[in-house]
Structure 1
């Protein structure tokens, strides 16, 4: 990847709806080579896809919870079984395998504390292998960036 590829990635992260013509103008490249580079970045797996960023508040889910989960056992099979359950639970929008005292970090959006309690009672507590969990609620979003740091700092 060269500087032009990084410029393309920066512009697409800022606005994934750019036409090829608009993108080529922003990176000072003619449309055909620009299109070819975008295609190659996709084929190489650098661009994973395109999508709309939605407002969880506007969708009626103003509460963000981060849940630290410790499994009862840290075996390969226990982790695999838990991860299958996570993938089937739509309320969990992100799940990260962690180092440290906890095994996983989950992100959940919810409409209210009552709906969070319902989620805990009917979904989270039913996930296989959980030994314990701790919930942290977000009071405010200080920074929320969609730019990949290495690219955004160029």
Structure 2
């Protein structure tokens, strides 16, 4: 009987560890997508999303092509920072709510832009990909209060 209880406890423990690892991994495509945006790498942007990707960007509906068309070379370099609010995995679908900060810097100017965002990620062929993103830009000069960001 003790052996059976030990196996059950180990199974539950390993399942909990696996679920926690999945939740850690679901943010990877978000990070990959914004790194590709920073590097103006349209192929890597496409690689981070699935075929049905939609971006709800500050009151507009964007396809991946719309998103790519908005990402062009400029005098600014972009550094990304994130603060995850919550995440949850249900089967092959993940839900993430987070703050996004981009520092845009040129030789003459540096500015921070902030968004409150949520994504739905799906596991496709064993890899997490962004299916949908909702992004609300905060007013200029109004960063979120009490949020600690981590550099990408």
TM range (shorter): under 0.3
The TM-score with structure 1 as length reference comes to 0.24
Q: Which has the larger radius of gyration?
A: 1
Greater RCO, 1 or 2 (C-alpha within 8 Å, sep 6+): 1
Higher helix residue share: 1
| More strand as a share of residues | 2
